[in-house]
């Protein structure tokens, strides 16, 4: 990802596991002329622990993977136990939490 000072963006979100850490470091590097979080905010959506060690540290949205797994198993078990029932697609919301770090602090 390349962001230059001429960019009108004030923030970016990144979903790939290691891209946010690299983005925060690369965008914040002196040669680009762009400062994180002064010029652009960076946030990841996976909560990997390496975000704690990037410079600046990476803000992340962390999904409740345990809750997602429990819900998935419950839905699968219900389907197995009631195989004759008709099942329809459904939306399930699982929890998340925001871990605010340096990449979004102004």
Residue 73's Cβ-count burial label (10 Å; 0-12, 13-18, 19+) is exposed
What 3-state class would DSSP assign to 61? strand
Three-state DSSP state, 70? helix
pTM of the model: 0.62
Identify the pLDDT of residue 4: 43
**75-106 pLDDT tens trace:** 999 999 998 888 888 899 999 999 999 999 88
pLDDT of residue 2: 40
Q: What is the pLDDT of residues 12-52, one digit of tens each?
A: 655 554 555 555 555 544 555 778 888 888 888 876 777 88
What are the boundaries of each domain within the chain?
Answer: 11-86+94-104
């Amino acid at each position: 990802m390349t962001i230059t000072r001429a960019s009108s963006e004030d923030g970016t979100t990144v979903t790939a596991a290691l891209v946010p850490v690299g983005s925060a470091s690369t965008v914040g590097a002196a040669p680009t002329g762009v400062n994180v979080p002064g010029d652009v905010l960076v946030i990841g959506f996976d909560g990997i622990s390496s975000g704690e060690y990037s410079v600046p540290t990476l803000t992340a949205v962390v999904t409740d993977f345990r809750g997602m797994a429990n819900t998935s198993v419950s839905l699968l078990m219900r389907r197995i136990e009631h195989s004759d029932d008709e099942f329809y697609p459904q939306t399930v919301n699982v929890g998340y939490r925001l871990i605010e770090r340096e990449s979004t602090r102004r």
